[in-house]
Each structure stands twice: as structure tokens, then as C-alpha cells.
Structure 1
Amino acid sequence: MNEGKIIKFYREKYQMTQEQLGKGICSGTHISKIERLHTEYAPEIITLLSQRLGINIENELIKLNTIKNRLNHWHDVIVMQLFDEMNLINHELEQDDLIQISDYINLYKLLRVRYLLMHNLTEEALEIINELQKKEHKLSSYEANLFKHVLGVYYLAKHENLKAIQVLKSINDTDYTNKEYTYHLAVAYHLNESPVMAYFFADKSRQFFKEINNYLRVIDAEMLMAIQVKDDGDFKETIYRFESLIKSCELCHSPDRKAKVLHNLAFEYFRRKNYELAHKYYNESMNLKNNDSSPYLLSFEGYIRSAYYGSLLPKDELLQLANEGLERALKKNEQLYINLFTLLSYLIQDKEQEYHQYLSEYSLPLFKKFGFVYLIKRSEKELFNYCFNQKKTRRALKMAHILINQ
């Protein structure tokens, strides 16, 4: 039955008419019926048509009939985050023209979005998302829920955390067996500073990753759970969790994950005003990262900030580091880090008025635009304290009203 679909695909690919293809073999009308699956045909005719098209029909049938299995395997590899194999399969599928006529073209496009998002290619991903939205009603139940999943991951990439929560919560896990989405839902709740919900869904994702024997993703889930524990007395339990995660990363030979764990441990020390250890772990995290990457800039900012509040480095050295960070951010055109390093520069130079003016006019609107909840809250508290100390009563009251409503 699929022979007709394959003949039609290659005929159109090579821009041949039905009459040109059938000349000396059969009529154009007969080819039309073969392509539309409206007639019986002799195997010899298919063989002759295939030879004229320069294809091996048996090989083409095998490729077409195994597309679903290959796509399912690609999906598993994406969930496991096996990047080398993921890239190899992507390349193979890109070379396979028959995907365009398979029954699984939508599944391929959905997985292609996941692949692009894992490589931070959000604009290319959005093009496919827009295309799929137009035919969302034609998706199978599984594909419709997968579409919600990839849409949630896209919203996370664009820092639209509330949208991510809304769409991921609407997934029907009876029809959608890939419980990886609970991890992305946990991330969205974490970024929205909802620790109870983040912990709950991170634990669900941990159970799923254990079921599929994906221990690297178990580390991801457990790290997310660890950073939700805000007040644990003497902090010993949190330290133990992070130390265990670091050992797990080393056992699994995963320096990227170890860098993330060290960064989060540094932040926990920073939050508790232990600036010396925060500074130490930010530095260890940086040493495991590509110094041209955004994750490096994030740890670099924490490294400088903890050194400033802990008086760990001379001011001239701190300013030099802040300017270096700003230069890197400008080179990458990373607006978040341009703002963060500019603020650090003002802070180090004790330019209080310039700092709070920049924070109010540029940084806070940017943080709100992208939904950086922690930075929004920190900025609004800083602006309230500044206005109160400067006896700008009306402005202070306005900021106090915002903080109370939060």
C-alpha cells in the first residue's frame, strides 16, 4: 500500500509528470491510481517505476515502516539527555525525505522542537510551534499532550514561567506516558518561587527517572528538591544533600551537573550570608563551565557579589571583575547580565543614586518582563529601603504596598 505514496513522493521530488514516469511502462492514469491507492498493480510495474526513479523500493519501504520506532527511540534519547546520540539521530532523520509522507510527520516536528530547545535555538523552535498550532486539532491525543509539553519547555526558555505552569498542568498523563514533564513543571514552580509545588513535582519526576534508570536526571530532580528547603535549622541536612549530589555527579562523570550543584550550593551559602563559602563554591562552579557561556556569567556575578558583601577582595579588583563581566555580557548581548554587572559596578563604586536609578528605570522592568521572581523581590526591597532612608515617603509607601500585596 505504501508503494504508491513512495512513488508519488519521488516523482514530485524529481518534478516528473505521471506521463513522463510511466512512458513505456504504463499510462499516466494508471500511475495516478497507484499513487492514490485506487487500484491493484503488478509488482513488476512498481519495480520498473522504482528503477526509473533511481530508488530501491524495498529499502524505501523499510525506512518508511520503521519511522515510528526511530522517532520513539529519539524521544527516549532526548529524555535521557544523551546529546551525542541525540545529535546523530537528528542528522539521520534530517536526511530522511520519507518522514514528510509518513503518518508521524507531526510527531517528528514535535520532537524536533524539543531538540532545538535543548540546543537553545528558540526562534527556530517557535517557527515549528506556530506551524503546529494551526493544525493542533489534527494531532492524536498523545501528540496533543506532547505539544503541551514542548510548549511548556518553550515558555521556560523564554522565562514565561506562569504560562509554562498553565500549559504543563493541563497535560493528561493518562494519555501521555512521558512523566518528564513533571520535572519541567517543578522548574516552572521553582522559578515562580513556589517551593512546595516545586518540591512535589520534582519528587514525581525523580520517581519517573528512577523507573527508567536515568540516574543523571535523578540528580537533576534531587538538586531541584534540595534547593526548595529554605529553612532547615542549622543547614546540616541541606549541606549533606548537596555533598551527596556532588559525589553522584563525580561518579556519573557529569561535570556540567556538578557545576550546577556547586552554583546552587554557593547560592544557599550566599542566602545565609556565609559569603566566604559562597565565594568559594561560585569559583569552583565557574572552573567547570565554559567562560563564554551564560551559566558562567551567572556564577561569575555571584562570585563578585559574594566577594563584595564579604569584603573578600579589594574594591579596585572587584570593579575590574565587574567590568570584565559587563564586557562579556555586552559581547553576547545578554540583557540580564548587562543589567546585573552594571548594577554591581555602581554598587562597588558606592554610587548609590546611580545604582537605584538604574535599578528602577532599567533593571526592575527587565526582571518583570522576563519573570525573574527572585530578582524582582530583591530589587523592590532594595528600592523600598532606599526611598525610606532618603525620606521619599510617597515612593516608599508605594513600594511597601507592592511588597505587602506580594
Structure 2
Amino acid sequence: MIEGKIIKFYREKKRRTQGELVKGICSVTHLSKIERGMTEYSQEIMDMLCERLHIDMVREVTRYHQMKELLDTWQEAIIMQRTAEAIRLKDKLEEEPLTGIPDLRLSCDLLRIRFYLFMNNIDEAERHIDKVEIPDELKHSYEYYFYHHLMGIYYFLTGHYAKSIQTLTSIDQSKYTNHEYFYHLSLAYHSIYSNITSYYYAEKAIQHFRKTLNMVRIIDTETIMLVQLNSREYHDFPETKRRYENLIRICDDCGLPDRKAKLLNNLGYEYNRRNQYEDAAYWYREALDIIPEEQPLYLMVLNNYIETSRLGSLMPANKLLDLSLEALRRSDLVEDASYMELELQCVILQGQEKAYYQMIEERVLPYYRELGSKYLAERYEEILFQYYMDHGEKDKALHLAKNRFETQTTTLISG
């Protein structure tokens, strides 16, 4: 019973023992059962308890239900990617004392983590993750699997893709009705280049987003599906181009420049992989024009633009190098993969072959292995293996091949 939760909350807030509160009203045992919702009570007893705590129970019950509705609205704002509304609701909830009631507190704690992950504030999310506790009696509940969903997002955002997949696939979808997590599973599988599985979960996610009329996430999921369709072989390019341009128009109509930038980059990539370098460079420039320079996406798209320009001989190497070095100088994202890839591009532009392969060996390959990015790790292993063989370093080549074989064997056994 809600009334019992409210009595307990205000009693503890006012630092009164059960004995102090019930003196002359009822027994401590009776109050204990009221607080736990295990017994009926007379209105007279409830009125006296409320009078002693100086609360209006009707008003407090109304506020309790309002808090539950507010928490649901906050979660919806986050899922719908309505940033301004999510921030406003977070500030409003911070002012409400009733969020200290245990069941509301747990929901609020979990949603607070979700909010900070949504805002990409990893440090703050970690701080709240360390504090949250799921009671044993809630094992396999909605809250239990919501926590798993949050941890799956956290692992994804911190680059631990295998952990993200392991955590998200442990969710029981029959008990956790927020099927948004299919989208995060699709992203995690996409990040390890497991394209068929990524597409599978994207299809499940888009069904959920269509049911909930979540246009922003429909765009995000359609984008993932397009990427997967073109991942291993060239899909029907006129159809691919048509779908990208349609999504770009929707972004314009909905005022979503960040989504538009990603789509422009992806379209540039589709031209680049077909060796249509001038068209690729055009779409990359379109993306760069709307991406803030402080974002990791800016460096990633710039790297794509520079690579396309180099491969298509669209600009002199010295100008491309100056452009790269200036971007690195202005950026604070020294720990990000996009920064490292742009550094590698600089080494190529300077024609430093030995330094290029040394950087792959000492920095790039260990980074992607640690990240769990199987596709990129294998890509650089192949580049390094061929370099070793061409330069007569057969021991290094064999060692690399052996490590790759052992990794693949371990993956097969564990899978």
C-alpha cells in the first residue's frame, strides 16, 4: 500500500523511531505491518499518524502517482531523444522529496544513469552506477533487466563491445518491455562487424520504434540497416543512394543536423568504396560543414575526406597534411580512435613507410584488440602480415598468424 510507504518515508526523514511515532496510537508491530503494506488499518489511525508527521495523505498519494508518471515521461523523453525535455524533467525530479521512497528511488536512480548515458556524460554515469543496488527480491524484474540494459549501453559507449553484447543478450524480453535495447544490441554487433546479427536486431528494433512512433530512432535504425546491407558486398547502389537521400530529407524536415551529418558521411563512404572519389569528397564536405569540430565525428569524417582526396589525387599531399595536422592540434580527443586514425593518415601523407607500420604494430592493432573490434583488428593484422612477409620478417609474420589463429579458435570454442 502506498500510504505505508509514505508514512515510512516521512518517519525516517524526520528521524523518528517507530516507537516514537506510534506512542499512544497503536503498537510498533502494527505500524511495521502498515509500512510494509502487510495489514489493513483504520482511517483514524492513519489520520493520527499523518497529524503527528504533519502531512496530508491525500496530497502525498497524489504526488506519489505524479512522480511515477513523471519518471515514465522522463524515460520516454530520453528514448525519443528529446534532449531539452529530458534535461527539464531531470531538474524537476531533483526537487521532489518523494523520489526518496524506495521503489521510486530505484527507478529514479536507474533513469538518472540512463540520462547521463544519453548525454554521453560517462563520468557522471559511472558515479551513479557505483551507487545503485538491485535488491535480491527484484532479481529478474523489470528493474533488474533495466539495469542490464544500462550496463550494456555503458559498455558500448566505453568501447567494450563484447561485454555490451553479453550483457544485453542476457535480458529476458518477456519481462523487459522496453525493446529499445534491440537497437543497442544492433549497434554493438555492428561495432564488431557482425553484420547479419546487427541487421537482425535492427529489424526487431525498428518494429518497436514504429509502434511507438519514434521517428528519430527510426532514422537511426534505418541507417544501421543500410550500413549492414552494404557491408560485405555492393548493394543496389541507386536504391542505396535513394534511401540515404530520403533519410537526409527527413532529417532536414525534423531538424536533426547530427543525424544528417552521419548520413552524409555514410553516403560519402559508399561513393568512396566504389572509387568515385570526387562524389565521395563532396558528401564528406557537406557533412563537415555541419559537424562541430569538438566532436569525435568531425575527426572521423575529416579522416575520410582526406583519405578520399589522397586516393583520388584531388588535393596535393602537403595541403592534406596541413589540414590534418591543424585538426589534430585543435582537438582534445587524443584518446579517441578517430584521433589515432588521423595521426596514421598524417604518417601516410609524409611517406614514412616504416613509421606507418610501426604505429600499426605498437598502437593501432593493440588498441582495436583491446576494444574488441574484430573487423578492424583483422584488417590491420592483414596489413602488418603482408608487410612482414614483403620485408623478410617471417618470424614476426608467423607470430602474428599464430596469435590470430588462437584468437579465432578461442572465439569458436567460447561461442
Provide TM-score, normalisation by structure 1: 0.87
Q: Which residue of 1 aligns with 2:80?
A: 80
1:289-324 residue CA offsets vs partner (Å, 9 max, x unmatched): 111111212212212222222221122211111112
- CA shift, 1:401, in A, is 5.4
CA distance in 1, matches of 2:273, 2:161: 23
Q: Which residue of 2 aligns with 1:49?
A: 52
CA distance in 1, matches of 2:2, 2:177: 29
Q: Is the 8 A contact 1:267 1:278 kept in 2?
A: yes
Q: Which residue of 1 aligns with 2:321?
A: 319
- CA shift, 1:371, in A, is 2.4
3-state DSSP of counterpart to 1:227: helix
Q: Which residue of 2 aligns with 1:204?
A: 204
CA RMSD across the alignment: 2.8
3-state DSSP of counterpart to 2:305: helix
Greater shift in the superposed pair: 219-228 or 317-326: 317-326
Residues 1:362 and 2:358 aligned together = no
Q: Which residue of 2 aligns with 1:118?
A: 118
Q: Is the 8 A contact 1:3 1:46 kept in 2?
A: no
Residues 1:90 and 2:90 aligned together = yes
Q: Which residue of 2 aligns with 1:36?
A: 32
Residues 44 and 204 (structure 1), Cα distance of their counterparts in 2 relative to 1, 3 Å cut = closer
CA distance in 2, matches of 1:318, 1:282: 14
- CA shift, 1:225, in A, is 0.5
Greater shift in the superposed pair: 34-43 or 377-386: 34-43
Q: Is the 8 A contact 1:381 1:403 kept in 2?
A: no
Q: Which residue of 2 aligns with 1:108?
A: 108
Residues 1:157 and 2:157 aligned together = yes
1:166-198 residue CA offsets vs partner (Å, 9 max, x unmatched): 222222221222221111111111111111111
CA distance in 2, matches of 1:143, 1:116: 17
1:217-273 residue CA offsets vs partner (Å, 9 max, x unmatched): 111111111011232366222222211211221222211111111111122222333
Residues 48 and 124 (structure 1), Cα distance of their counterparts in 2 relative to 1, 3 Å cut = same
1:378-398 residue CA offsets vs partner (Å, 9 max, x unmatched): 322221232233232332344
Q: Is the 8 A contact 1:232 1:238 kept in 2?
A: no
Q: Is the 8 A contact 2:18 2:31 kept in 1?
A: no
CA distance in 2, matches of 1:385, 1:122: 39
3-state DSSP of counterpart to 1:104: helix
CA distance in 2, matches of 1:139, 1:89: 28
Amino acid corresponding to residue 254 of structure 1 in structure 2:
L
User: What are the ranges of 5 or more consecutive residues in structure 1 without an aligned counterpart?
Assistant: none
Q: Which residue of 1 aligns with 2:266?
A: 264
CA distance in 2, matches of 1:139, 1:115: 23
User: What are the ranges of 5 or more consecutive residues in structure 2 without an aligned counterpart?
Assistant: 35-40, 409-415
Provide TM-score, normalisation by structure 2: 0.85
- CA shift, 1:3, in A, is 5.0
Residues 1:276 and 2:272 aligned together = no
Q: Which of 296, 303, 307 is the aligned partner of 1:301?
A: 303
CA distance in 1, matches of 2:192, 2:327: 26
3-state DSSP of counterpart to 2:326: helix
3-state DSSP of counterpart to 2:229: coil
Pairing of 1:314-353 with structure 2 (within 5 A): 314-329=316-331, 331-353=332-354
Amino acid corresponding to residue 36 of structure 1 in structure 2:
S
Q: Is the 8 A contact 2:80 2:214 kept in 1?
A: yes
Amino acid corresponding to residue 32 of structure 2 in structure 1:
R
Residues 1:392 and 2:388 aligned together = no
Q: Is the 8 A contact 1:64 1:102 kept in 2?
A: no
Greater shift in the superposed pair: 138-147 or 28-37: 28-37
Q: Is the 8 A contact 1:4 1:34 kept in 2?
A: no
3-state DSSP of counterpart to 2:318: helix
Q: Which of 248, 251, 254 is the aligned partner of 1:252?
A: 254
Residues 310 and 361 (structure 1), Cα distance of their counterparts in 2 relative to 1, 3 Å cut = same
Q: Is the 8 A contact 1:151 1:164 kept in 2?
A: yes
CA distance in 2, matches of 1:151, 1:309: 40
Residues 233 and 43 (structure 1), Cα distance of their counterparts in 2 relative to 1, 3 Å cut = closer
How many residues are aligned here? 398
- CA shift, 1:144, in A, is 2.0
